[in-house]
Amino acid sequence: MRKLFLVIVCVALVGCGGQTTDESATEVNPFFADYGTPFNVQPFDRIDEAHFVPAFEEAMTRQNAEITAIVDNPEAPTFDNTIVALDQSGELLGEVSRVFFALSGSNTNDELQGIQKEISPRLAAHKDEIQLNPGLFARVKAVHDEREALDLNREQLFLVENFYDRYVRNGALLNDEDQTRLKEINQRLSQLRVEFSANLLAETNGFKLVIEDKADLSGLPDGVIATAAGKARREGLENAWVFTTHKPSMLPFLTYAENRDLREQLYTAYTVRGNQDNEYDNKTIVAEIVNLRVEKANLLGYETFAHYTLEPRMAGTPENVYKLLDQLWDASLPVAKREVQAMQAIIDAEGGGFELAPWDWWYFAEKVRKAEYDLDDNELRPYFELNNVRDGVFYVANQLYGLTFVELEDMPKPHPDAQVFEVFEADGSHAAVIYMDYHPRESKRGGAWCGRFRSQNRSAGVEVDPVINLVCNFTTATEDTPALLSLDEVETLFHEFGHALDGILANVTYRTGVRSPDFGELPSQIMEHWAMAPEVMKVYAKHYQTGEPIPDELIAKIEKSSTFNQGFIQVEYLAASLLDMEYHTLTEPTDLDINAFEQSYLDEIGLIPEIIPRYRTTYFSHITGGYAAGYYGYVWSGVLDHDAFAAFEETSLFDQKTAQRFRTEILEVSGSKDYMEMWVAFRGREPEIGPLLRNLGLQ
């Protein structure tokens, strides 16, 4: 029955599409034809900027027709003809969106940015038309009302409840006037988010520290100097060295450069991004976003935006979030203060004659690290050649879940720099395709992330295999050395690959799932534990020249230093998390002076002047994107990942029973089940904070 229904819809759609779209565009647009690519991956090599707007338009037209068919169905609403049909609708829109937004993040240009500005509000309006369609909601509600009597399985019941809650949370129960206002707010929010990102990218690319006097390089390791020289040459500068506010360029400079003034210049350039009262200023944009969000929450009957957004997450309420953040803040702040004292002692002993400032932290922390832990980043990097680390990631996935990886040549790629792998299950069957794109470029936003070009599902009765997209901003190769990663970058690759595994091992029926940062960082963060496990390091951390595995003595130093600088790491992160919550627990729109608001709040919580939050408001893209009132999610997931990894420590590093349970109870069902139920099914009890506090030395 379901198949027949779909065929009819498709026929109707071809007719619709023909009437409303430019015929010639339809003929050449790769989104409209069979891709004819290996694994049906999107044909990146044939997609160009001009294809996106017509593809988005056609995709929205198709989904509208699908929705109309659901609403106009003369049969009474059923799970299949309403919920499943809804889950299946918008397939083309998903295809186009995933490609477009992936490229906007990792390979953008003026044209794509222009399209993003144009299309984002239209997509928001399209989504609102569906979410606020009264006929559609009536059918969803009818199925929801009788769900207990429908003999649905657990996953189906969850899907019905998820759809119903989603509609209510998106305003389905509001009156016409409020719905109209809600649509306006959503439109405006979508525009503002795009503007914020474009400004941030311009500001990040807009600053370059150009060094022409060799003396100013004093303290910097050869590899860092070579990278900066290469960057200068690419900019057409001879006998010069260029540093930027991209982290792989900035952090080594802050860690090693003896010239304190230049450290200040570079770090300040980083922290004032979006806050320079120029055309790229983000202050009024954030203020408007925050105010529109609280207005939206109030409209929907919630006290604050945080109450609204936390409701479907594991944390549930702002009170629960604050309970965790406050506990950790109180534990971390004294540790950070002790770290300041230790560094100030070094400054004084050297006769520095100044107080430690934020741009000094990395430099003196590195001295502490060398003095107390005898650990030198430069000593480590040769053991972390990028491809070796990647093989280490693959090794862990193999030991835990039996997965294997084969590099694919001649594949369409979202960017020529990306590597592509086919992933196989232990029985040799195809599991997924994964793209890995490692290094910074001006067309890429900062940070590291893992997205999906396609998510696993079998909503339409056929198994759809995942296509994963992992993107980083790692240290690049120089003319003399391959890409040698820092310890942080090693952890990041394992982290992002954990997100990839969440996608690769998904085993759900429906497309529509629930995603939440407070649980969503569990699969990623748990991988960092294996990255640092000595047995695993011995496998992947091989010297890039000699092939010698990392010596025990270095591993011991890494282990010993695992609590090094934790006061800073936690305080820097928690200050940003608390700031995120502070913005989103406003109870009504207010006249927001962003700098004053930020400063007075940070003073109130007692942030020390030597630390600037990991993100200041004007470049805190997590909170303008999907992690609004959600940046706490990393540490909430932190409680979970330390507690989950303890289950392996209690058995063995690759204990097959525990791995199997993690796979079936967490990774396979992710998004299709209540989070606490998932957790308890894996761990046999509710989460405990003890392992996190112990491992971070905060107890």
List the structure tokens of 216. 């100013």
What string of DSSP letters covers 153-215? -HHHHHHHHHHHHHHHHTTTTS-HHHHHHHHHHHHHHHHHHHHHHHHHHHHHHH--EEE--GG
Nearer to Zn ion, 112 or 527 (CB): 527
Nearer to Zn ion, 266 or 678 (CB): 678
Positions in 522-581 near Zn ion (CB under 5 A): 524
List the structure tokens of 492. 């990041």
Nearer to Zn ion, 524 or 566 (CB): 524
Nearest to 257 by CA among 341, 146, 119, 362: 362
Nearest to 500 by CA among 401, 591, 598: 401
The amino acid present at 307, given as its one-letter code, is H
The distance of closest approach from Cβ of residue 673 to Zn ion in the complex, given in angstroms and rounded to an integer, is 20
Cβ-based burial of 279 (10 A; exposed 0-12, middle 13-18, buried ≥19): exposed
**The residue to which tokens 């160009």 are assigned:** 48
The distance of closest approach from Cβ of residue 449 to Zn ion in the complex, given in angstroms and rounded to an integer, is 7
d(CA 577, CA 633): 9
**The residue to which tokens 């990839």 are assigned:** 500
**What Cα–Cα distance (Å) separates residue 512 from each residue in 161, 418, 507, 655, 663?**
12, 28, 13, 32, 20
The distance of closest approach from Cβ of residue 516 to Zn ion in the complex, given in angstroms and rounded to an integer, is 12
Position of minimal CB gap to Zn ion: 524
Count of residues in contact with Zn ion, rule CB under 5 A: 2
**Residue from 57, 58, 385, 496 carrying the catalytic annotation:** 496
Nearer to Zn ion, 505 or 586 (CB): 505
Contact 403, 9 (CB under 8 A): no
User: Pattern 513-532, binding to Zn ion, x per CB under 5 A?
Assistant: --------x--x--------
Nearest to 63 by CA among 10, 115, 139, 121: 10
The distance of closest approach from Cβ of residue 472 to Zn ion in the complex, given in angstroms and rounded to an integer, is 12
d(CA 255, CA 243): 13
The distance of closest approach from Cβ of residue 634 to Zn ion in the complex, given in angstroms and rounded to an integer, is 7
List the structure tokens of 66. 């699908």
Positions in 249-278 near Zn ion (CB under 5 A): none
d(CA 465, CA 448): 23
Nearer to Zn ion, 252 or 451 (CB): 451
d(CA 269, CA 275): 10
d(CA 602, CA 339): 19
The distance of closest approach from Cβ of residue 526 to Zn ion in the complex, given in angstroms and rounded to an integer, is 11
Q: At what angle do helices 361-368 and 318-349 cross, to 10 degrees?
A: 70
Nearer to Zn ion, 318 or 630 (CB): 630
Nearest to 210 by CA among 186, 239, 184, 181: 239
The distance of closest approach from Cβ of residue 499 to Zn ion in the complex, given in angstroms and rounded to an integer, is 6
Distance of CA 527 to the CA centre of its chain: 15
The distance of closest approach from Cβ of residue 495 to Zn ion in the complex, given in angstroms and rounded to an integer, is 6
Residue 688's CB is within 10 A of a number of other CB atoms, namely 14
Strand partners, 437: 471
The amino acid present at 266, given as its one-letter code, is L
The distance of closest approach from Cβ of residue 494 to Zn ion in the complex, given in angstroms and rounded to an integer, is 11
The distance of closest approach from Cβ of residue 648 to Zn ion in the complex, given in angstroms and rounded to an integer, is 20
**The residue to which tokens 């590899």 are assigned:** 223
Contact 131, 166 (CB under 8 A): yes
Helices (H), 561-666: 566-584, 594-604, 621-624, 633-649, 656-662
Strand partners, 241: 211
CA atoms within 13 A on the CB side of 610: 23
Backbone angles phi, psi at 432, to 5 degrees: -170, 170
Residue 469 is a binding residue for Zn ion (CB under 5 A): no
The distance of closest approach from Cβ of residue 336 to Zn ion in the complex, given in angstroms and rounded to an integer, is 24
Nearer to Zn ion, 528 or 598 (CB): 528
Judged by DSSP in three states, 452 sits in strand
The amino acid present at 9, given as its one-letter code, is V
Strand partners, 419: 436
d(CA 455, CA 502): 10
Residue 670 is a binding residue for Zn ion (CB under 5 A): no
Active site residue 496: yes
User: Which H/E stretch holds residue 648?
Assistant: helix 633-649
Nearer to Zn ion, 359 or 494 (CB): 494
Nearer to Zn ion, 32 or 449 (CB): 449
Residue 427's CB is within 10 A of a number of other CB atoms, namely 7
The distance of closest approach from Cβ of residue 517 to Zn ion in the complex, given in angstroms and rounded to an integer, is 8
**What Cα–Cα distance (Å) separates residue 460 from each residue in 35, 78, 130, 155?**
19, 16, 20, 15
Write out the residues near Zn ion by the rule CB under 5 A.
521, 524
List active site positions: 496
